[in-house]
A = this chain, B = another copy of it.
Amino acid sequence: MAADVRVLEDLKAAILRGEFAPRQRLVEAELCERFDASRFSVRAALQALEADGLVERQRNIGARIREISLEEAVEISEVRQVVEGLIARRAAERATDAEAEELAAIGRRMHDAVAAGEVGEYSELNARLHASLRDIARHEKANGIIAHLHGQMVRHQFALSRVPGRSKVSVWQHQAIIDAVVARDGDAAETAMRAHIASVIEALRAIP
């Protein structure tokens, strides 16, 4: 049961895993075969993914993977900058002692990962830090918007994580965020988060 939900989740996961190239056409019949589903389910999934901003559809022509231009990626990051700023502020205002310690632990492991040159581990910790902040902030709307924006950024995000030397810079920005939250300083947390994402935007512009 709930075949359409399954198709939606699988297809979205596949897109987020980068299994489709930007502007690649998504033919309904092909998706039907791949996911062993009816066109009905596939169609519903495509409509949902269109609303999600992951695919674009043209009437009577079909669906394709939406290409996110550099300018658009920058715009997305600018919105992320202020919304994650809000999240950082709320996290600083609401963190329990246990949650603060959890963030501090992530920070220590980040330093270790950078020292050991473990890029994959650092990237994982990075995602974990931002996720923890979202959990602590308990701001459903903000979290939802970040999830929405993040989905459109996967490709650029991936490119970013491969820029050599970035972790050495960003580890201190992350530390500043953690320190502000641990100190329960909302202003400082928002400022630190915005500075961090400002640097992400700079790096983004430097890639192509």
Interface residues of A (CB under 8 A from B): 2, 44, 47-48, 51-52, 59, 72, 75-76, 78-79, 81-83, 85-86, 139-142, 145, 149
Contacts and interface: CB of A to CB of B under 8 A. Distances in A.
A141 B72 contact: yes
B142 A79 contact: yes
Nearest to A51: B51
Question: In the assembly, how many copies of this chain are there?
Answer: 2
Contacts of A79: 83, 86, 139, 141-142, 145
Q: Shortest 3 CB-CB distances between A and B: which pairs?
A: A51-B51, A82-B82, A75-B141
B142 A78 contact: yes
Contacts of A2: 59
Given A78-B86, A78-B139, A145-B145, 19 more contacts: A2-B59, A47-B48, A48-B51, A51-B51, A51-B52, A72-B140, A72-B141, A75-B139, A75-B141, A76-B141, A78-B141, A78-B142, A79-B86, A79-B139, A79-B142, A79-B145, A82-B85, A82-B86, A141-B149
A192 B2 CA distance: 48
A138 to B, nearest CB: 10
Find the residue from A52, A83, A139 having the highest chain B CB count within 10 A.
A83
A51 B12 CA distance: 15
Contact of A47 (B44, B52, B85, B149): B44
User: In the complex, which of the residues A47, A141, A145 has the most CB atoms of chain B within 10 Å of its own CB atom?
Assistant: A141
Contacts of A76: 141
Contacts of A142: 75, 78-79
Nearest to A52: B51
A72 B145 CA distance: 14
A141 B85 CA distance: 17
Contacts of A78: 86, 139, 141-142
A151 to B, nearest CB: 13
A166 to B, nearest CB: 23
A64 B67 CA distance: 34
